[in-house]
Every structure is written in structure tokens, then in C-alpha cells.
């Protein structure tokens, strides 16, 4: 029947954003896992398990963005500190420190080449046409 509101109304976009914001704060404050969060969300918002799970996923999308931004800032800060160390090592003619800094910079940037040891055993048979 049109126009009839169900007992548990679907959240509109503004309510949904508010729920996500509250959820992110609650997850961080309580170091909550999935079970704890979905139980809390079901009780707080009077929603079903499926909706609570959807909110959980949306909260973690926000959290992953926050965490990713923090990692980027930390990496950039570390690279700037290493660059200062490298410049000081060059000025002091300290080649060992300079090379170590370059190694760490490459490691952070993902350019580190790992040494791989490969051992191959086998038999080679030669036929000289005799």
C-alpha cells in the first residue's frame, strides 16, 4: 500500500551520513570488531543485520581513507628527513651514510631490489654423434 511507513523506516542520505560518522567514532573509541559494531548499530538505530553490515562496510571505507592519508603523511615526512640526512652526509663526505640513506629511500619508494638465491640442479647429456 503506497504512502504507508514501515516500522523501521529507511534512513535518508543525511541520516545515513550521520550514522557513518557516529559509527566511525564508535569503532575507533571502542576498538570494535564486526560483531560488536553490528550489535551496537542494530540496537542504536533499530535496523536489521543487513543494514548494520552495510554501515560497517561504509564506516571502514571512511576509516581506510583516513588511515591511508596518515600513512602518506608519515611516508612523506620520513622521506624529507632522509633527504636532509643524505644532504648532510654529502656535505660531510660520509659515503657510507649517504648510501644507507639511498637504500632506505628506495625501500620506502618500493624500489628495493631483493637478492634472490636460485639453485638449479639437473643433468646435461651431450651427444657428439659418435
Centroid of chain to Cα 15: 27
Q: Where are the domains of the chain?
A: 13-109
- Check residue 8 and give its pLDDT: 46
127: left (phi over 0), alpha (psi -120 to 50) or beta: beta
Distance CA 111, CA 101 (A): 13
- Grid coordinates of 73: 603523511
**Cβ partners under 8 Å of residue 46, min gap 6:** 8
- Check residue 2 and give its pLDDT: 46
pTM (2 d.p.)? 0.53
- Check residue 39 and give its pLDDT: 96
Q: What is the mean pLDDT of residues 4-14?
A: 60
Q: Per-residue pLDDT for 7 more than 90? A: no
Confidence band (pLDDT; 50, 70, 90) for 114?
low
Amino acid at each position: 500500500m503506497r504512502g504507508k511507513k514501515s516500522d523501521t523506516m529507511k534512513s535518508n542520505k543525511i541520516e545515513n551520513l550521520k550514522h557513518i560518522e557516529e559509527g566511525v567514532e564508535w569503532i575507533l573509541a571502542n576498538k570494535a570488531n564486526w560483531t560488536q559494531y553490528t550489535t551496537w548499530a542494530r540496537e542504536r538505530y533499530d535496523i536489521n543485520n543487513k543494514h548494520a553490515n552495510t554501515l560497517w562496510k561504509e564506516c571502514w571505507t571512511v576509516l581506510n581513507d583516513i588511515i591511508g592519508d596518515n600513512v602518506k603523511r608519515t611516508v612523506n615526512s620520513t622521506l624529507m628527513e632522509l633527504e636532509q640526512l643524505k644532504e648532510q652526509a654529502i656535505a660531510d663526505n660520509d659515503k657510507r651514510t649517504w648510501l644507507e640513506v639511498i637504500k632506505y629511500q628506495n625501500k620506502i619508494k618500493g624500489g628495493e631490489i631483493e637478492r634472490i638465491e636460485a639453485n638449479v640442479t639437473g643433468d646435461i647429456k651431450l651427444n657428439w654423434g659418435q
